[in-house]
Chain A
């Protein structure tokens, strides 16, 4: 039986190899914020005939002016396109390209619009998450122990950083749906970790004298392995089906979930669990130090 707890450093290094470039990218390049956050232009056009919305979407996306979800049909031949901020030139390009690809265009309006999600709302979300994490630790302290709570929440933070980092590196546009994806990942991650910690808690009760903590956690991981794999597979079935067969407008949202769920599967076993082992072993060292002092 492979021992996951022996090479804890390797798992930490793998995590850092993903998270650090992501953090670097977040600090230096930031995110490709969608117009939900930044505002932009609202271009409304009337076409001379009824065309499929995909055709309009393809044109706008190819120009790189807007993400797929910002094009709405209104009535039979009017289209509302929310783009990033456009210069006069770009606006003209948009109209002429539409004319070439889909037919006669009648421009109804083209105006600057402000953000839908203000700074306040974003700050709100971050605060809510921090408070939620604190309360989760409180509950886990009560049912498990403080250090398991800290380890579980660290695993959760790990998953959020992985998703945000990858989205920053690849400069994929993020919108309000991304906020929901991050929240979903948080829920999945904490759920996954607690099931493993529950097994650890149970095994601690029947712990034999002299059994190393590493081995106990490792056995717990193996005992819950079938469940961990089956659950992540079940969730990935739905997500992969949505990613491969679903519509274009939810692709980024689903991608965030796929990355997050995979990271959650990894971190429950290889971040939160070894971290708890290390936290416990530190405690032991402290005690040894204390004993050494009191012996003097």
Chain B
């Protein structure tokens, strides 16, 4: 087994052990899981996507992205994926890596002005993942990357449907140095991690649902013997397969030439966003009322799916982007466009 695959396995074990039901409940009640974060950071996971020459430890990108997928599979209530991608951006920009949890945001709505040999960033950043808990904010703005360790305040505390912090920040920060972005926008990098997390969570949702309908007996037989149930599960399986392949495509795009990444990332994000909704609906239906309780872990995954599909650009944003590109190719160029996109 490769080192990377071993790392993924070790991370899976660690997350499985540490993020038990009790930890999940604490996180969902608003607690920052400090000890669990330290354990993950202790394994070096926040650096897994950083290039070796920028302070990473040589994890192959496929393995690093397998870790991101894992955070989805476990609905990990910590910003590991966010920190991985934020550190990736810092490393590529030649900036020092984050010491604590970090989040990458799109700075398009911020005002960035030159100020004696540096920059000033000001404005509002909406719904920043774990805004209240992070140590570093990485802002991508007009091809530049800024690393902020201070200079923001919480303007409005919020959560997503999975009860994870999504805080609106008022930013007024001074930055001495900036790096050059890796060619991908913050939304694109964020979309790639959400796509992988959706794919990971969907695999878990499918397992839970197959397990449930195989055990639950009604009318004297397991639910899995009813054809209507089988067909819904087959549909769920199709969505999970499509989302999984879309996520792999997003990884290829992230790793490959940034100039060719926009379309496959958009397509992957659109397809997984749709799969998230369809699949969550089927899984909730087949679990019956028990799945609708706070007791049942299914909702950790479905509420995460319902949140992730709207973060780092919603369904409208991405379909509009890909639709605009398709119309630019036009009817006559449609097929060529499709074959060249991904």
Do A and B truly interact? Answer: no
Give chain B's interface residues, CB within 8 Å of chain A: none
Give chain A's interface residues, CB within 8 Å of chain B: none
